Structure 1
Amino acid sequence: MSATKASARLPSMTEVLAVMIGFIAIMFLSINVLGLPIQLALFASWFLVMALGLKLKISYDDMQKGLIDGIHNGMEAVLVLTTVGALIGTWIAGGIVPSIIYYGLMVMNPQIFLFAAFIICALTSLATGTSFGTAGTAGVAMMGIGHSFGIPLPLVAGAVISGAYVGDKMSPLSDTTVMTASLCKVSLVDHIRSMMLVSAPAILIASILFVVVGFFYISGDVDTSRATVAMQALENHFTISPWLLMPAVIVIALLTRRFPAIPVITFGAVLGSLCAWWAQGVGPIDAIRIAYVGNAMHSDVEFLNTLLNRGGIESMLSVVALILFALGLGGLMDRVGILKTISNGFLSWANNPGRLTLSTMLGGFFGNFFGGAAYVSLITASTITEKSYDDQGIDRRVLSRNAEAGGTVTTPMVPWTDGGVFMATTLGVSTMAYLPFLWYHMLVIAISLFYGYANIAIWRTKVDQDSTDQPSPQPASF
């Protein structure tokens, strides 16, 4: 074993580029050409990296250890995701999510429709943690209402997608949020707190823009019957009450108070089951079963069918597999030395927070551009530059924030990514048509870059002055 370690070397930049091109090619062909699951593409990429490792004279046992270590470091994310699945299912069955949507629709006013659509989708995505689910439910309703108001559909789609990605990026229930925190080795709460410094001003400015622009397209006398129909449908199938908002308030409050994510989210799922039993009339055993299988019901209203039939631990199993493959790939790349070689290359140019921020965000964008999925972008954004953050003594919370800004946020901006295809298909508006109106996304990117170059909210790790300026250990994950 020692002889193997002695003879091993770091890969050259040419070798790294060849592997990265092969990795991107596998992702692109698998997802966009062959239509294969991204899990298979990530699994195949393991062997691409292993081939380079064997060329570098690294034993298979060493590479397998790196792979297992990578998975081990992110196992808590898997536990969080299983509890998130239970939470989503029980919150839908308990009427918590329907109540959030219902009270969001109550604020509907033609003069502020775009602002309302943005906020409703933001609240829905924060409550569910999914941009796809938000666009497919509340977003579809907003498109129909906006059409009846005579507003250009690309503008409505911009408001819907902007709101939908608020939760995809910020919600503790979002798989991309949990995955980014795990990949960057920061706690989920610290990751969200860091992103709030960027997202809060972005939400505020985007809200102002949607209010101002809305007045140019909407007259005061328009038909709001579609919003009324949606509210009536929710009332017919659920008990709607402001008290049902309390579980969401409790869970968010406990998470922001830095209580551990797994027990808090599990507690939220228990509250959801109790609400389903007491408020919605679901049998006690069925209310518990929903935590695993998800909520399911049949209605004559298509909107409700799309909204309600989801959630449960079972729905997260494919995402769990994806995260395991992604974490394994990251550990394998680290063991082979790919990340070290790339980091060494970045160090010569990304020698300040501004350039480092730009490098991370470009890594995320190119992951979307070539890999076609948010998960790929988060891998490329986080793993390529993480060593540079450590070497410069910059806290990993800055890395996780920038990875989301370059990865998650740019996903619907690329026409052939999973997000771009889903949004265009679901909302009936092409990616290039709604792209100019993704104001929240553009603001997140702009503010993140501004923070980097202005050295704002760039936290430093403690450095041991007696150990060649190596940063102290990062905060424990979760």
Structure 2
Amino acid sequence: MKNNRSFKHIYIIFAVSMGAIAACIIKSIPLFYGFFIGVFFSIIVFMRNGFSFTALIKMILKGIKECFSVYIIVLLMGSIISVWIASGTVPTMIYYGFDYIVHMNYLLACFMIMVVISFAMGTAFGTISTIGIALLGIGKGLSIPEPILLGAIISGAFIADKISPISALVNLTIKTIDINYKDFFKNMLATLIPTLIVSAIIYYILGKSFTGEVDVSTLKAYQRNIFNTFTISPALLLFPITMIILAVVGVKVIPNMTFGLLGGICISIFFQGIQIKELMHAILFGYHARTGIEELDGILRGGGILPMIEVIFIIIGAVALSSIFEGTNTIAPMIDKMASNIKTKGALIARTSILSIVLTTVACDQTIGILLPGKFLKAKYEEFKIKKTILARSIADTGTTIAPLIPWNVNSIIITVITGVGATAYGLYTVLCYVSPVITILFGYLFVNKKEEFGNF
């Protein structure tokens, strides 16, 4: 009876929280207000059921404190995006990327360019709202339908949230599950490589249907103004490559990102000749390029510490809600009930994937879909003798990745605001976002279930 009451409380809290989050989205109110309403309501509910206000606040503060490094990472990410544009690193990626577009299947080129740049930038939105908008505009000149174009662009962009070493969501995942990025990265490759191959093949086939010529004059104009505004050099590409290598070999994320930020600052000042005052303003508020082409200026802008504050508040709200569920021991019985009849490793991975997808769907954001499975399924993975990196991979491949497919999710709403194309239109063509969960679940049944092979996957 106690468990039934606990489940009822969770359902009520989730309903109120999700209703508040949905209202924030509809009314264009910052999303963290919805999470804070959920936290406030959950405090009232649990106080009425015997928990003291002091005890609940301690639970919240404990959870928030444990994720302190994630907040630092979010602020560093905002700073790095600004500095990497100012230093010429992102403009160099775009400058040389346009050279390859002319000679490739355009749809496949969009996907591959977004994969590379989003991995380096560590943010799906940052990549979509910069290079993604440019690729979308050029593709429309080839008479490629916008939903198909946007599907390829979003598929490539969400590689950032799956595996980039400087992604806030990736670092929230590895922090929650208590693993290091090196092990996470190695384990992710097992499902990421086939996902990329399948997605690339599908985009290649789709792209063959559109044989129009790229508007070379537009690309050349963009390249010319980038070249006139920034000092462009292939050497600048070594900088993000070095950061990625450092992350893969095991350098911790905050020192690595600090190196990236300081290095970018030095390049901006001594190589691009930017004034310190101007650079500090860009780090705080975001960088805004002045290239002489309005569309290009819209591409070469973004980042900043202050715009990241809202992201931090969203994470704090989600962490606070999760911490109350954990501290009151009300979510664990619910997940235990869900996992009680699991008999195989493959079934556990499939159930993890479904739980993460459901939580991301109802929460309108990926954070809850990471935190709750990450916190409460660790013991189950230990029971089945499955490495925690498999848990992290299952979440990253499913709940994290499917967000742009859900029309009411904050990710898809922002994409719609940026591009004018809704999730119901582009969703079918966002191949990677639904191929990834399928491959992860199949992989769990086909390989992880084989005990003798498990250690290699």
TM-score, normalisation: structure 1: 0.86
Alignment of 1:429-448 (within 5 A): 429-448=421-440
Consecutive unaligned residues in structure 2, runs of 5 or more:
453-457
1:111 positional shift: 4.7
SS at match of 2:166: coil
Partner of 1:182, secondary structure, is helix
Render the CA deviation track for 1:339-393: whole Å, top value 9, x for unaligned. Answer: 2121221222334333322332223332333322233433454345444334434
Q: Within 5 A, what are the aligned runs for 1:200-239? A: 200-219=193-212, 223-239=215-231
Correspondent of 1:171 among 164, 176, 183: 164
Does structure 1 residue 54 correspond to structure 2 residue 29? no
The code of the aligned residue for 1:165 comes to: F
Q: How far did 1:168 drift?
A: 2.7
Other-structure match for 1:409: 401
- Say whether 1:331 aligns with 2:323: yes
> 1:34-66 CA deviation, whole Å, 9 max, x = no partner?
433221111121223223432442222222222
- 2:15 paired with 1:18: no
Shift in alpha-carbon separation, 1:67–1:459, aligned structure 2, 3 A: farther
Match of 2:175 among 182, 193, 212: 182
* Structure 1 residues 226 and 310, CA gap change in structure 2 (3 angstroms): same
1:335–1:393 Cα change, 3 Å: farther
CA distance in 2, matches of 1:356, 1:398: 11
1:343 aligns with 2:340: no
- Preserved contact between residue 386 and residue 399 of structure 1 (Cα < 8 Å): yes
Return the letter of the residue paired with 1:377. G
Q: Which residue of 2 aligns with 1:364?
A: 356
Kindly state the Cα deviation for residue 99 of structure 1 after the two structures are TM-superposed.
0.7
Query: Helix, strand or coil: the match of 1:12?
Result: helix
Contact 2:346 2:449 in 1 (8 A): no
Q: Residues 131, 459 of structure 1: CA spacing in aligned structure 2 closer, same or farther, 3 A cutoff?
A: farther
CA contact (8 A) 1:49 1:336 kept: no
Instruction: Say whether the 8 Å CA contact 1:363–1:406 is kept in structure 2.
Output: no
Equivalent of 1:107 in 100, 105, 122: 100
Partner of residue 119 from structure 2, selected from 120, 126, 129: 126
**Structure-1 separation of matches of 2:297 and 2:369:** 32
SS in 1 for 2:407: coil
Work out whether 1:29 is the aligned partner of 2:23.
yes
In 1, the alpha carbon distance for the partners of 2:332 and 2:372 equals 13
**Which 10-residue stretch deviates more, 39-48 or 304-313?**
304-313
- When residues 285 and 21 of structure 1 are mapped into structure 2, their CA distance, relative to the original with a 3 A threshold, is closer
Matched, 1:135 2:128: yes
Report SS of the residue matched to 1:107. Answer: helix
Aligned partners of 1:459, 1:228: CA distance in 2, in Å? 55
RMSD: 2.6
In the TM superposition, what is the alpha-carbon distance from 1:248 to its structure 2 partner?
Answer: 0.5
* Superposition deviation, residue 289 in structure 1: 5.5
Aligned residues of 2:398 and 2:436 also touching (Cα < 8 A): no
Question: What residue in structure 2 maps to residue 197 of structure 1?
Answer: 190
Out of 57, 64, 69, the residue aligned to residue 71 of structure 1 is 64
TM-score of the pair, normalised by structure 2: 0.90
2: distance between equivalents of 1:350 and 1:419?
32
Counterpart of 2:140 in structure 1 is 147
Which secondary structure state, in structure 2, belongs to the residue aligned with residue 282 of structure 1? coil
1:127 CA drift (Å): 2.2
Q: Tell me how far 1:323 sits from its aligned partner.
A: 1.9
Task: For 2:80, give the aligned amino acid.
Answer: L
Instruction: Please state if 1:43 is matched with 2:36.
Output: yes
Instruction: Indicate which of 248, 264, 279 corresponds to 1:272.
Output: 264
Mean CA deviation greater in 433-442 or 157-166: 433-442
Instruction: Give yes or no for contact 2:22–2:408 (8 Å, CA) kept in 1.
Output: no
Rounded Cα–Cα distance in structure 2 between residues aligned with 1:413 and 1:68: 33
The correspondence of residues 307-326 of structure 1 with structure 2, limited to 5 A, is 307-326=299-318
Tell me if the contact between 1:378 and 1:408 (Cα under 8 Å) persists in the aligned partners: yes
**Which is worse superposed, 235-244 or 64-73?**
64-73
Q: Unpaired runs of 5+ in structure 1?
A: 1-7, 461-478
The count of corresponding residues between Structure 1 and Structure 2 is 451
Opposite residue 226 of structure 2, the aligned amino acid is L
Specify the alignment match of 2:345 in structure 1.
Answer: 353
Identity across the alignment (%): 25
1:382-434 C-alpha deviation (Å, 9 max, x unpaired): 34544433443433322222222222211111112122122234333332222
Kindly indicate whether the alpha-carbon contact (under 8 Å) linking 1:405 and 1:448 is maintained by their aligned counterparts in 2.
Answer: yes
- Whether the aligned pair in 1 keeps the contact of 2:94 and 2:131 (CA below 8 Å) is yes
